[in-house]
Amino acid sequence: MQIIDGKKIRDEILAKIKREVATLPFTPVFCDVLVGEDPASVQYVQMKARTAEKVGIHFHKAIFPAPISTSDLVKEIKTLNKVPNMCGIIIQLPLPGSIDKKAVLDSVEPDLDVDCLGAVASEKFFNDYNSQTDLGYPAALACLALLDSLRLDLKGKIIVLLGQGDLVGKPTAALLRSRGIPYQPITNETENKEYFLQRADIIISAIGKAKYITGNMIKTGAILIDAGTSEDVSAQLGDRPSIVGDVDLKSVKNVASYVSPVPGGVGPVTVAMLLQNVLKVAKAKTSPLAPLQASLERGSQRRGEVN
């Protein structure tokens, strides 16, 4: 079994982003809105800030106290939308329970919605996605980037997509369809799951069930892209549970041909894809007729919206 090194792939993508950012006539700005002081969220935001700065993208801090109201947070985000050279805004999840998540996500301007979690950007992605110009769900893009790194001929390959969640499963399915790649979705309602898994040449899993996929469930030579994350309380890292994926690495090591590990697989590449979205927005801002803006406007016109 060979490990698909997400950190190596991330570094290659980031190096390309850095080169392209250096050619822009302005410094792009990226913002990750944080509400509260959840330690894991704070750490994740800091990591994205460091990564953005490394590739020449300025990170704009936006930290708000947990007691903030939905209306006040929406006002703050609308102000961030107008920051000069802003090229991407994301909302660090989870938000406090008192906040209307949908209202907050929808307050990000669609052409700055580099996570694709607002209604307009999400609809655009699922209905009219162009990989060259449009924003995509970073985790789903990461799954396919890992698969692409193997440089396989996918013709005739049986691909199984395990899970249909909003952040990974459904967007990954949409990306596969956009490429004309057939796949077999597996959900909780799917009968004979074992049959499909045993036949699969490639399994992309995003169900968040710790070590669910074992060696006896897959065929020899299967490729496993693991986008699931769970806490494993049986394996502590200090005073915190370790993070594991959907794949039991020890169990599949003598069966699978390639596996993306958790951590170190989809996660690092997701951050790179997020910043690639920021770069797309920045490139669009260099021309008023840029494809990204025109594409978003076409989507709004089809819905009868007035900008």
For the domain that residue 52 is a member of, what is the CATH number?
3.40.50.10860
pLDDT digits (tens, 9 = 90+) for 172-184: 999 999 999 999 9
Q: 85: phi > 0 → left, psi -120 to 50 → alpha, else beta; which?
A: left
> Is 220 annotated for ligand binding?
no
Across the range 229-237, mean pLDDT stands at 75
For the chain, what is the domain count? 2
Q: Judge if 222 and 144 occupy the same domain.
A: yes
User: Does residue 11 belong to any structural domain of this protein?
Assistant: no
Domain boundary residue among 93, 108, 123?
108
Structure tokens belonging to residue 278: 């920021």
pLDDT at residue 301, rounded to an integer: 47
Regarding whether 250 and 166 lie in a shared domain, the answer is yes
Which two structure tokens, joined as six digits, stand for 209?
């069930």
- Which two structure tokens, joined as six digits, stand for 255? 């069966």
pLDDT at 307 over 70: no
pLDDT of residue 201: 99
List the CATH number of the domain containing 149.
Answer: 3.40.50.720
Same-domain pairing of 30 and 68: yes
Span 136-162, pLDDT tens digits? 999 999 999 999 999 999 999 999 999
What is the rounded average pLDDT of the residues 211-239?
Answer: 88
132 within domain boundaries = no
In a domain, 207, yes or no: yes
Query: Would residue 280 count as lying in a domain?
Result: no
Model confidence at 298: pLDDT above 50: no
296 belongs to a structural domain: no
SS3 51: helix
User: pTM of the entire structure?
Assistant: 0.90
pLDDT tens-digit readout, 111-145: 999 999 999 999 999 998 988 889 999 999 999 99
Q: How far apart are CA 102 and CA 160, in angstroms?
A: 31
Q: How confident is the model at residue 299 (pLDDT cuts 50, 70, 90)?
A: low
Does residue 235 share a domain with residue 157?
yes
- 103 part of a folded domain: yes
Q: What is the mean pLDDT of residues 59-81?
A: 97
User: Does 103 share its domain with 224?
Assistant: no
Q: Note the pLDDT tens digit of each residue in 37-54.
A: 999 999 999 999 999 999
Domain of 263? 138-268
Mean pLDDT value of segment 12-27: 98
Tell me if 215 is assigned to a ligand binding site. Answer: no
**Lowest mean pLDDT: which of 51-55, 131-135, 222-226, 299-303?**
299-303
Same domain, 176 and 260: yes
- Judge whether 163 is annotated as a binding position: yes
Considering the chain, what percentage of its residues have pLDDT values greater than 70? Answer: 91
Residues 144, 250: one domain?
Answer: yes
Half-sphere exposure for 178 (CA within 13 Å, toward CB): 20
Q: Where does the pLDDT of residue 287 fall: very low under 50, low under 70, confident under 90, or very high at 90 and above?
A: low
Angle between helix 119-128 and 291-302 (nearest 10): 100
Structure tokens at 203: 């399994």
Same domain for 57 and 153? no
Distance CA 198, CA 176 (A): 21
pLDDT in the model for residue 267? 97
Query: Where does the chain have alpha helices with state H?
Result: 6-21, 39-54, 70-80, 101-106, 119-128, 138-148, 169-178, 193-199, 249-252, 266-285, 291-302
Instruction: Assess contact for 223 and 189: CB atoms under 8 A.
Output: no
Question: What is the reported pLDDT for 86?
Answer: 98
Q: Which pLDDT band, with edges at 50, 70 and 90, does 303 fall under? A: very low
68 plus 148 within the same structural domain: no
Identify the pLDDT of residue 302. Answer: 47
Which residue in 182, 172, 234 sits closest to 206, CA to CA? 172
Question: Do 152 and 52 reside in the same domain of the chain?
Answer: no
130 within some domain: no
On average, the pLDDT of the chain sits at: 92
**pLDDT band per the 50, 70, 90 thresholds, residue 236:** low
d(CA 67, CA 283): 37
- Any idea which residue has 């036949």 for tokens? 199
Is the backbone of residue 211 left (phi > 0), alpha (psi -120 to 50) or beta? left
Judge if 70 and 148 occupy the same domain. no
Q: What percent of the chain has pLDDT over 90?
A: 87
Is 227 contained in some domain?
yes
| pLDDT at residue 101 greater than cutoff 60 | yes
Q: Is 118 flagged in the annotation as binding?
A: no
| 273, 279, 285, 289: CA torsion to nearest 10 | -60
Residues 91 and 162 in one domain: no
